[in-house]
Amino acid sequence: MSEKIARSPVRPVQAAVVAGWEVTGRRSAAGLTLTDLTPLAKAAVRARFDGGMAQVLGVPFGRAARDSAGALVIGSGPGEWLVLAPAGEGRALRHRLEEISAQAAGQELVTVLDLTHGRALMRLTGTSAAATLAKMCGIDLAGPRTGDGAAFRSSVARLVTDVVRDDQESPCGPVPSYLLHCERSYGQYLFDALLDAGAEFGIDIDGFRPPGI
């Protein structure tokens, strides 16, 4: 029996299979790149904004930071978190969060939901990333509240989107980078809208590279 392959809503370019997902296999050295990160493990956590689970996660609403296991924890709303981990670790991520909840939350109601296959995720990286997003989003991306580690929910190309500033390291220093997270059914639309907005800056599609976060 052939191995099952998971597929993103975003069409791959030069398709390759990584961690059980069909992904874009090409590599780009362009100054502005867009990468489909849908294969990353994604978990949604809901709990009291001031409860035990919130204290353990340690990331307030509107911020993002990596935990001791290397997962990216995003305060996506009051009492809501999105946690990202490497591709293929969805089940392990959910179990780890459930164990943390059992130990830290006590009688507090905590829900953990695996969103890996239900949401689309992409990364826009480059010095022109903010200028590209500014064409589709009304948030002031040059302001002090939208620096590295900022997280917010806004309209991007008229689509409700979670946006996370997560700069990437390079030999020349940090490079501006944004994660964009939306409903799976709108993944291709948002990806195409970003490509269109970034065309004047020479945007190119870059392939998924594990671990991806």
Q: What is the pLDDT of residues 105-147, one digit of tens each?
A: 677 899 999 999 999 999 999 999 999 999 999 998 987 889 9
Please say if the pLDDT value at position 51 is more than 70.
Answer: yes
Contact predicate 11/28, CB 8 Å: no
Contact predicate 136/182, CB 8 Å: no
pTM: predicted TM-score of the whole model, two decimal places? 0.94
Task: Please give the Cα distance from 162 to 128 (Å, whole number).
Answer: 19
Tokens 């065309």 -> residue: 199
99-111 residues labelled b (16+ CB within 10 A) or e (exposed): ebbeebbeeeebe
Task: Please give the Cα distance from 82 to 42 (Å, whole number).
Answer: 7
Contact predicate 82/71, CB 8 Å: no
Q: Which domains does the chain have, with CATH numbers?
A: 11-18+26-39+117-205 (3.30.1360.120), 41-114 (3.30.70.1400)
Predicted confidence band of residue 104 (pLDDT cuts 50, 70, 90): confident
The bridge status of strand 32-36 relative to strand 21-24 is unpaired
